[in-house]
A and B are shown apart, each in its own frame.
Chain A
Amino acid sequence: MDFTMSPEQELWKQTVREFADQELEPIARKIDEEWHRIPDEVIDKMADLGIFGITIPEEYGGCAVPGEEMQYAVTTIHELARGELSMSLPVYTLLCIGWSILMVDHATEEAKEEILPKVVTGEWFLGINTTEPGGGSDLANIKTVATKDTGDSWIINGEKAYISGVREATERGGGHATLFLTEPEKGYKGATFAYFPADAPGTSYTTYSDMGRMGLSTGGFVYKDVEIPKKYILGEENKGFYVNMEGFNVARAVVSAACLGGAEKCLEISADYTKQRVLFGRPLLNFEAISFEMVDDRAQLEMLKLMLQKGAWLIDQSRKDKSKVDFREINRTMAMCKCYAPEMGVRVARNGMMYHGGFGYTKDTPLEMSLRGTMSYLVGAEGGYHVMKIIMGRDWFGDEAVPYRGSQVGH
């Protein structure tokens, strides 16, 4: 067993941290409040460093280290999130590098050659598109459907909701890995997963006015007779639900990393403040009601970090050799991380606001921005808080713990 990072991993972590300190921290508030977008120059600089290629093999222009993609992805997002507490840029990036992994593993050669090099250069955005107005938690009940199969393509009709990056994908180029039905009568067993270019004719989008992470759009897509070529399929027809779930595990890892990085930074901000804030004749940190809470938070973040490292490592191992890793262990580990990471992120930011008193309620600290941004991951994205508990329960107790499957009284 070995918990040390390789010299390369260590140097990369340091590099991304320096980048985040120098380039992101000074503009995080502007991203959230003024620009409501991530500046192109920043995306260009990130691409130049190699951030968007970190999970993409060299043959598609990327720079992935085979077998260490997730370890690098998690480290990268963790460090970026420390610098950009609104969460806009970490989320933008984690969607691109997370869903690239699924593309690498499940897209057709033609699609990979078309899409991945453009993700590497930062030109295109790549996201995930599963949630519908009818309910995000109950994914098996989606309605977006291929109303016609022309042989080479599907004609899609339907609607998606709360999708990150609708504007970015439409304006910059790129698209979303999308879940839809190809055999509606079979329910989720008739669902297919495919890349939908945001500019496919017949696609339109609206955006919502969100609570936080204002530099990245959230919105809905409407599909009216949109033709999606079959070359964009991810995995196999009618097996989309499972491919999607595999992608969620990757996404849960990087999402957790974003929450972890933000929380870590909030805690450091709080430590600096409570050390110098003098009340009742001594530093605030000197009161154990404060310091005990902070050491609790720190210890729990450390636990999360370890678990996340394990999860990332498990995914890397399984991508090298599926037979070596129990898929359920990945599922369980990632659900546990994604369950608690946003919860901890929100809590640490909130605690920090408390230590800062009135100052914490102002926009002169980034704590409230972090709280607003991290809250999005408690609510949703790759399964919300409760859904993680459903996964954890099912893993432990079996179908007994699943309300729509287990033995219900009266059935």
Chain B
Amino acid sequence: MDIVVCMKQMPDLQQIRIKDRKPILENVPLVWGDLDKNAIEEAALIKEKVGEAKITVVAKGSDKLQQGILEPLAMGADEAVLLTDPAFEGSDSMGTAKVLAKAIEKIGAYDLVILGEGSTDNYSGLVGSALAELLNLPEITYVRELNVENGKVTAVRNMEESFEVVEANLPVVITVAQEINEPRLPKFMAIRKAGAKPRHEWGPADIGLSADEVGENAASVDMLSNLAPEQDRKNIILEGDLDEKIDALVDALIKEGVLGR
């Protein structure tokens, strides 16, 4: 079985500081998105179960990937495709999906393509679906449980208010939810071996695209501003004894729409 996992590095959200409502991204280390780690973990679990499988990670990003890719390789990926060419920078979600689709087509063999349901920084959740469309594959989103058997997948989808069980034939694109698994910490020996696993670096030409078909040049969405929501405290101080204060608090929360009636 051939499994492709798409992963992205992003600034460590825990370390981003906000100044004038703008995130300061300089010198913030890059980490893998939590859901991306769920994606590679799921691939590794499937491989452990079915035995014969090859996992290829495809990652688009900066040259920091050279270092960062060690982690998914240590978690179980067999090979990596890095799309670090500066021409890819500034892609919108559709552009990213296009580049990933071309890279996956070049890889050629893919029974399962696994992604996170969204990236934990922008969380547009578009890439998985766009990718499925471009590859002309069925897609199952928000997967919290996955079972692969006899050329088929059975998946439990998290629909928030309910769970949905669906089935599809391979090949299929899967986007995973955080509950699907607990990503492993790589073992020391796996880290040691990861460095020797094959890596390929592909630029636009390698995947049959020209420079103006990718990155900022091809983006149809422009990010105009990226601001943290304004948070203001109302500084309401409730007076009275405990019972009065509780009543006043409940009233205030209802008025704010925090509590229903």
Contact = CB atoms under 8 A, between A and B. Distances in A.
A114 interface: no
A14 B185 CA distance: 9
Contacts of B185: 15, 18-19, 49
Interface string B195-213: 1000000000000000000
A1 to B, nearest CB: 20
A12 to B, nearest CB: 6
Given A7-B66, A10-B67, A51-B188, 5 more contacts: A12-B191, A15-B191, A19-B185, A53-B188, A63-B188
Nearest to A54: B188
A65 B189 CA distance: 9
Interface in B67-83: 67, 70-71, 74
A7 B67 CA distance: 6
A63 B192 contact: yes
A11 B192 contact: no
A137 B192 CA distance: 40
B186 interface: yes
Interface string A26-54: 00000000000000000000001111011
A46 to B, nearest CB: 11
Contacts of A321: none
A11 B189 contact: no
A12 B188 contact: yes
Interface of B is mostly: helix
B187 interface: yes
A2 interface: no
B71 A8 contact: no
Contacts of A53: 188
Interface residues of B, number: 14
Contacts of B194: 8, 11
B28 to A, nearest CB: 15
B187 A11 contact: no
A147 to B, nearest CB: 43
A8 B186 contact: no
Contacts of A48: 187
A48 B191 CA distance: 13
B188 A50 contact: yes
B189 A50 contact: yes
A50 B187 CA distance: 6
B195 A15 contact: no
Given A12-B191, A63-B192, A65-B192, A7 B70 contact: yes
Contacts of B189: 50, 63
Nearest to A9: B191
Nearest to A8: B191
A10 B66 CA distance: 13
Given A7-B195, A8-B195, A49 B188 contact: yes
A10 B30 CA distance: 13
Interface string A51-65: 101100000000101
A246 B16 CA distance: 45
Nearest to B74: A11
A91 B70 CA distance: 30
Interface string B225-247: 00000000000000000000000
6 contacts: A7-B195, A11-B70, A19-B185, A49-B185, A49-B188, A63-B189
A8 B196 CA distance: 11
Contacts of B186: 11, 15
Contact of B191 (A11, A18, A51): A11
A9 to B, nearest CB: 9
Contacts of A51: 188
B150 to A, nearest CB: 32
A315 to B, nearest CB: 19
Nearest to B71: A11
Contacts of A65: 192
Most A CB atoms within 10 A — which of B67, B186, B191? Answer: B191
Nearest to B29: A14
Contacts of B192: 8, 63, 65
Contacts of B195: 7-8
Contacts of B70: 7-8, 11
A48 B187 CA distance: 7
A10 B194 CA distance: 13
A29 to B, nearest CB: 23
A320 B195 CA distance: 22
Nearest to A23: B185
Interface in A236-278: none
Nearest to B188: A50
Nearest to B189: A63
Contacts of A7: 66-67, 70, 195
B36 to A, nearest CB: 15
A8 B189 CA distance: 10
Most B CB atoms within 10 A — which of A8, A11, A19, A48? Answer: A11
